[in-house]
Amino acid sequence: MEDLTTVPTFNFSQGDVFEGAENLIQVCYYSNGVQPMIELNQDGDTVTFTDFAQLEKLVKNIRKNLNEAKQILNK
């Protein structure tokens, strides 16, 4: 019989949902045989990153555009 594979997983809490925070984000680590893949799950929606560098680029771009986005939202 083949060994069962476990998926390393953790939950990222954004605060108390009863105080207006978003639901947990589940972070799962997979392997495609070449490199690790990261999957983010929230409320049945999934985003998969097959390259950790792309996740880092996403976070960098979010930070880069944050001030402009705040200005637009505060109009």
| pLDDT (tens digit per residue) in 28-68 | 998 877 778 899 999 999 999 988 889 899 999 999 999 99
Residue 24, CB-side half-sphere exposure with 13 Å CA sphere: 8
Total residues belonging to the chain: 75
What is the reported pLDDT for 44? 92
- Alpha-carbon distance values, 26 to 52, 53, 66 (Å): 16, 19, 24
What is the reported pLDDT for 6? 76
For the stretch 12-50, what's the b/e string if a residue is b when 16 or more beta carbons lie within 10 angstroms of its beta carbon? eeeeeeeeeeeeebeeeeeeeeeeeebbebeeeeeeebe
**What's the predicted TM-score (pTM) here?**
0.74
